A = this chain, B = another copy of it.
Amino acid sequence: MQTPYETTVRVRYAETDRMGVAYYATHLIWFEIGRAEMFRQMGFCYREMEEQDDTYAVVAEAHCRYLRPARYDDLLRIRTRLLEARTRTLRFGYEIVHGETGELIAVGETLHVLCDRTGRPRALPEKYRRFFPLTAPEAATGCS
């Protein structure tokens, strides 16, 4: 399995809830940051993919398992990897671990459909193909 790309975030006060821990929708925002920083480390900018190449990675599915709470001011490591690349879809996997203890806080996945500005599915532009080599024969169906 591919080594994950890693970035860090610190839990904001705004992200906590009255249980004293990060609210459960926050983890999906952290996944977004994991993807954006993965792309930057790979050598391109997601913003440019949208603005210059009219390609939007629209989220079709998201899943998260919450294993331990993240608390205010905790430094977290977000580990992101590509799980699957098809002509029109990309799937990413995430692990969020505590920066100091290394304990696993959450794991998740997102599935994205590539679309143009109008929301119509499109193939990944050629220039991004090397970053996301197809991982499965197109014949295969029923992505997990």
Contact = CB atoms under 8 A, between A and B. Distances in A.
Contacts of A63: 61-64
A123 interface: no
A14 B20 CA distance: 12
A59 interface: yes
A20 B62 CA distance: 19
B46 A73 contact: yes
How many subunits of this chain does the assembly comprise? Answer: 4
Interface in A7-45: 12-14, 16-21, 23-26, 28-29, 32-33, 36, 45
Nearest to A69: B119
A23 B13 contact: yes
Contact of A25 (B16, B29, B46, B71): B29
A129 interface: no
A104 interface: no
A60 B69 contact: no
B60 A66 contact: yes
Contacts of A73: 36, 45-47
Given A60-B66, A62-B63, 14 more contacts: A13-B32, A13-B36, A18-B19, A18-B71, A19-B56, A24-B59, A24-B62, A25-B28, A28-B28, A36-B73, A58-B66, A59-B66, A61-B66, A69-B119
